[in-house]
Structure 1
Amino acid sequence: MTDEFRRRAKNLLLLDIETVAGHASYDGLTKRMQKLWDKKSLALNKGDETISSADCFYDKGAIYSEFGKVVCIAFGAFYWNEKDEIAFKVRSFSSDDEVKLLLEFKALIEKYPADQLTLCAHNGREFDFPFLCRRMLIHGISIPKALQISGKKPWEVLHQDTMELWKFGDYKSYTSLDLLAAVFDIPGSKNEMSGDQVTRVYYEENDLAKICRYCREDVVVLAQIYLKLHCLDMVPQENITRVG
């Protein structure tokens, strides 16, 4: 590991979020929100009226910050152990109370110098970072400086996105975390569940712990991909610590 990477790693936080539909069913929406979802559902299904708004909400409501909510945030950081070997620690916050969860996360990242903290996620610029900011605003929570981008010059926004790093300026396609893991021969995180099952596991199985395990493993994969994208050796499995 280079001295430059060690220096940057001190203020590097890798993260992933898990989101679910904001209600257990379409019926939980207010009439006003139902009408607005009906319009979005029709557009999402390209005018196919055979797919009900209710089914579409359960399947896709988690993707949109106006209709979904955050139930878990996992984050991790690199460090060097007593043998001077690279190590990684990943931890998760979770709650049925989204306000409590977002405030916990805000308190965490505000412990870092805002002008030095680098946040990294896979597709984070398009999903994780804006989703967190929008949900904070919906709940009247001020956005921490490390997540703010308004008025900043591009080089002042210290956000990194492994999907963008992999694209090298090519915007033709989406590359999933799982695909990059396979390309680099990194063990995947989809053994227990996959991302499209999160809403079902949350509402039908009532298993937030399972969602958190999945979210933490995504961050482990993210960390290994981050290292590969910088031509660095991966963290040995025995040097990875997981905290619930």
Structure 2
Amino acid sequence: MIVFDIETGPAPEETLRKFLPDLPAAQHPGDFDPSSVKLGNTKDQAKIDAKYRDAAAKHAEAVAKFEEDQKTAADDHWAKFIDKAALSPITGQVVAIGYYSANNGAFVHQDITQKSEREMITTFWSQFSKNEHSHRSMVGHNIFEFDLPFLVRRSWALDIAVPPNARKGRYWSDLFVDTLDYWNLGQRMNKPAANFDALAAFFKTAGKPEGTDGSQFYDMLTTDYDRAIAYLKSDVEQPAAWIDAMGITL
């Protein structure tokens, strides 16, 4: 069997800007209105002028704070959008695909620093067709809910042909094996929590490297390449051990 895993990242900024939701409008302080200054019974022009200056200064501070707050809000709005962008095939892209052969322990991968997203996805479907011919399973964790739908939708976006047998009606090809689907044992309601780290702890494998998760992969890929690839390698090696532990013969 071959275990695979995809890693995703945000789409290029010019694409993301098209989908960024509008930031809710805030109330601008407006122009300074001298008539809003409360003068009381003051007749002393010097005191009146001082009140106007004080009010104008406070208004200028409010305008400056408003503009600063709006910039902070816009930056936060963008950061939160970017943080979730990789999870959607509309605002995200495939940035790496790793493969692990349980037969010989070989690990290979492609990533966006070497190959385009189009090349990576085309290679994946080519691998599927080869495995289909050799009746060799393709295994992954949560691939029915995330990896495969993401790959198909990105294929649509890039006009890449998806093999007709990859999906049969409502179901994925029997070639695909999802460790999470096996773990659930057909349960649809009240399914036990079984994220990657939970299964790793249960089956006594290493789990995700401490302090890291998939949302950080793209940043790792661009700032600490070796660490990113080690992370990807771990993500495809461990499900192979879980399959063995569950006694599943593929």
Give the TM-score, by structure 2 length: 0.67
Between 67-76 and 185-194, the greater mean CA deviation after superposition: 185-194
Q: Which runs of 5+ in 2 are unaligned?
A: 25-72
Alignment of 1:196-235 (within 5 A): 196-202=215-221, 205=223, 207-230=224-247
What amino acid is the match of 1:225? Answer: W
Q: Retained in 1: the 8 A contact 2:144–2:172?
A: no
Q: Retained in 2: the 8 A contact 1:94–1:208?
A: no
Counterpart in 1 of 2:167? Answer: 149
Matched, 1:110 2:134: no
Secondary structure in structure 1 of the residue aligned to 2:131: coil
Q: Which runs of 5+ in 1 are unaligned?
A: 1-11, 40-48, 80-86, 233-244
Q: Retained in 2: the 8 A contact 1:178–1:189?
A: yes
- Seen in structure 2, the aligned counterparts of structure 1 residues 28 and 170 have a Cα distance that, compared at 3 Å, is same
CA distance in 2, matches of 1:155, 1:90: 24
Counterpart in 2 of 1:4? Answer: none
What amino acid is the match of 1:215? Answer: L
What amino acid is the match of 1:222? Answer: P
CA distance in 2, matches of 1:218, 1:139: 26
Matched, 1:128 2:140: no
- Seen in structure 2, the aligned counterparts of structure 1 residues 200 and 31 have a Cα distance that, compared at 3 Å, is closer
Matched, 1:21 2:10: yes
- Seen in structure 2, the aligned counterparts of structure 1 residues 219 and 67 have a Cα distance that, compared at 3 Å, is same
Secondary structure in structure 2 of the residue aligned to 1:29: helix
Matched, 1:169 2:186: yes
CA distance in 2, matches of 1:92, 1:100: 12
Secondary structure in structure 1 of the residue aligned to 2:86: helix
Deviation per residue, 1:162-183 (Å, 9 max, x gap)? 1111111224344111111111
CA distance in 1, matches of 2:172, 2:152: 20
Between structure 1 and structure 2, the one with the greater Rg is 2
1:188 to 199, 207, 211: 207
Higher helix share: 2
CA distance in 1, matches of 2:206, 2:140: 18
Counterpart in 2 of 1:70? Answer: 94
- List 4+ stretches of structure 1 deviating above 4 A: 49-52
What amino acid is the match of 1:128? Answer: D
Structure 1 residue 208, shift from structure 2 partner: 4.1
Q: Retained in 1: the 8 A contact 2:4–2:100?
A: yes
What amino acid is the match of 1:151? Answer: G
What amino acid is the match of 2:207? Answer: G
- Seen in structure 2, the aligned counterparts of structure 1 residues 102 and 230 have a Cα distance that, compared at 3 Å, is same
- Seen in structure 2, the aligned counterparts of structure 1 residues 15 and 189 have a Cα distance that, compared at 3 Å, is same
Counterpart in 2 of 1:33? Answer: 19
Q: Retained in 2: the 8 A contact 1:58–1:199?
A: no
Percent of aligned pairs sharing the same letter: 24
